[in-house]
């Protein structure tokens, strides 16, 4: 047992090096930063924009537009005349987003039945999502002013102006979503769930790369052969490597699950967002699925690492794992696995890394059968990979170099 704990400490210390640990930590940090950024943008969009107004018109409708803008926005500059360029500098210095110019004769043009022009001088401080969103708020304020003007000129009511009000009821498999349109549901799903398959793909690739590089380094430095000649059971060596890797995988699964939850909770509580929200139990199930997937990929990477000649060869042996991770990512981003034809669905579900990518979507639709079935399949796959790794370590292939046809094929892949 003493040998086991020493080997476990050795493997864990090896995998806790910055070159292995930093890629695992970067994705949760990115998700948290994205959640904070999205939350900040939505908070900014809910607030009043800061604007300046030059009100040159002295008529009734010009006053109405001025009153509407002043009510729905924070006015940092006001004048009845002036040069827009000079005024824009003042507005910008005061933190304003735009200058609205209501020209002389605006009321007269409205009374004649023509369009009344309004000058909009905007400043975009950054070509980013937050910068463009703040500038787009101005168009919404002008639209509100236009609606108020229409109601005043025509004498209609808001109900007469929009006589049809759709009341959406959307059926999503066995769920009935009242008050949610398909468009809002699609938009909310895209923003909240489209990145999860991408992140899980990177998690699998980083985890596999971590172990297979470690094995490649040991083969390159000839430390693995030395370790195998020591009076230590080879099953103990495999157990130490797998448990050390799995402990890092468990840490990664916990970090990724928490980051998923934080990222999704950053969205506003609209009808579509609420309909697409997951509970704490759902995230715990996703974490279990992700952890088993990581154990499977770690065991597979350990098995492939046995055939690596050096670190460079280990990178080439990561190619099969990359394919197995990329295919489910692409399939689940653009399609629903449950809606595919039976042969294609069977192929995708046979890939163990498909199950953590589809788990959030299936839990959202209360399809726990596919999720728990996937967890059982992942556990079987991980156990099979662990068994094969132990068989290979217990054989003489690591000492004699005789690895059969599989080893010859993998050797050609490294050339």
- Give the whole-angstrom CA distance, residue 415 versus residue 400: 20
- Give the pLDDT mean for 78-88: 88
Q: Which CATH class name applies to 48-158?
A: alpha beta
Model confidence at 22: pLDDT above 60: yes
Beta carbons within 8 Å of 112's beta carbon, 6+ residues apart: none
Q: What is the pLDDT of residues 172-199, one digit of tens each?
A: 766 777 777 776 666 666 656 666 777 7
Model confidence at 292: pLDDT above 70: yes
pLDDT of amino acid 399: 56
- Give the whole-angstrom CA distance, residue 267 versus residue 280: 16
Residues of the chain with CATH 3.40.1710.10: 48-158
Nearest of 73, 68, 83 to residue 149 by alpha carbon: 68
Nearest of 292, 295, 288, 289 to residue 208 by alpha carbon: 295
* β strands within 123-168, DSSP E: none
The mean of the pLDDT values for the chain is: 76
- Give the whole-angstrom CA distance, residue 298 versus residue 22: 17
pLDDT of amino acid 170: 74
Three-state secondary-structure class, residue 330: helix
pTM of the model: 0.64
Spatial contact of 207 and 297, defined as CB atoms under 8 Å apart: yes
Three-state secondary-structure class, residue 51: strand
pLDDT of amino acid 112: 85
Q: What is the pLDDT of residues 123-146, one digit of tens each?
A: 776 555 555 555 667 777 888 888
pLDDT of amino acid 35: 62
- Give the whole-angstrom CA distance, residue 328 versus residue 339: 14
The lowest-confidence range among 36-45, 358-367, 385-394 is: 36-45
Per the model's pLDDT, the better-predicted residue between 390 and 409 turns out to be 390
Q: What is the pLDDT of residues 226-268, one digit of tens each?
A: 776 777 777 777 777 777 777 776 777 677 777 777 766 665 5
């Amino acid at each position: 047992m003493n040998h086991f704990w020493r080997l476990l400490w050795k493997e864990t210390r090896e995998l806790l090096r910055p070159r292995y640990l930093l890629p695992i930590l970067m994705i949760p940090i990115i998700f948290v930063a994205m959640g904070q950024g999205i939350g900040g943008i939505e908070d900014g969009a809910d607030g009043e924009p800061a604007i300046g107004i030059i009100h040159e018109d002295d008529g009734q409708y010009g006053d109405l537009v001025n009153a509407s803008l002043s009510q729905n926005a924070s006015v940092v500059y006001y004048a009845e005349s002036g040069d827009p360029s000079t005024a824009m500098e003042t507005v910008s210095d005061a933190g304003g987003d735009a200058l609205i110019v209501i020209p002389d004769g605006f009321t007269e043009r409205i009374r004649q039945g023509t369009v009344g022009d309004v000058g909009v001088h905007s400043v975009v401080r950054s070509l980013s999502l937050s910068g463009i969103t703040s500038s787009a708020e101005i168009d919404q304020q002008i639209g509100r002013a236009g609606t108020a003007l229409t109601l005043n000129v025509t004498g209609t009511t808001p109900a007469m102006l929009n006589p049809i009000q759709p009341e959406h009821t959307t059926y999503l498999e066995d769920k009935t979503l009242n008050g949610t349109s398909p468009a809002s549901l699609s938009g909310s799903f895209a923003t909240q769930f489209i990145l999860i398959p991408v992140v899980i793909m990177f998690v699998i690739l980083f985890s596999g790369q971590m172990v297979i590089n470690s094995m490649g380094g040991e083969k390159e430095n000839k430390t693995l052969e030395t370790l195998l000649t020591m009076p230590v059971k080879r099953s103990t060596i495999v157990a130490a490597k797998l448990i050390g890797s799995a402990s890092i995988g468990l840490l990664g699964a916990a970090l990724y699950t928490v980051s998923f939850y934080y990222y999704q909770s950053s969205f506003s509580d609209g009808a579509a967002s609420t309909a697409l929200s997951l509970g704490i139990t759902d995230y715990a199930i996703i974490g279990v699925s992700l952890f088993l997937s990581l154990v499977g990929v770690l065991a597979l990477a350990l098995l492939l690492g046995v055939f690596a000649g050096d670190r460079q060869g280990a990178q080439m042996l990561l190619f099969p794992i990359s394919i197995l991770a990329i295919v489910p990512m692409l399939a689940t981003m653009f399609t629903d696995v449950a809606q595919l034809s039976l042969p294609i669905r069977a192929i995708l579900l046979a890939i163990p890394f498909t199950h953590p990518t589809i788990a959030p979507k299936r839990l959202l639709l209360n399809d726990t059968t596919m999720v728990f079935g996937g967890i059982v399949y992942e556990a079987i796959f991980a156990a099979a990979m662990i068994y094969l790794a132990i068989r290979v370590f217990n054989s003489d292939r690591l000492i004699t170099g005789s690895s059969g046809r599989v080893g010859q094929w993998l050797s050609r892949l490294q050339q």
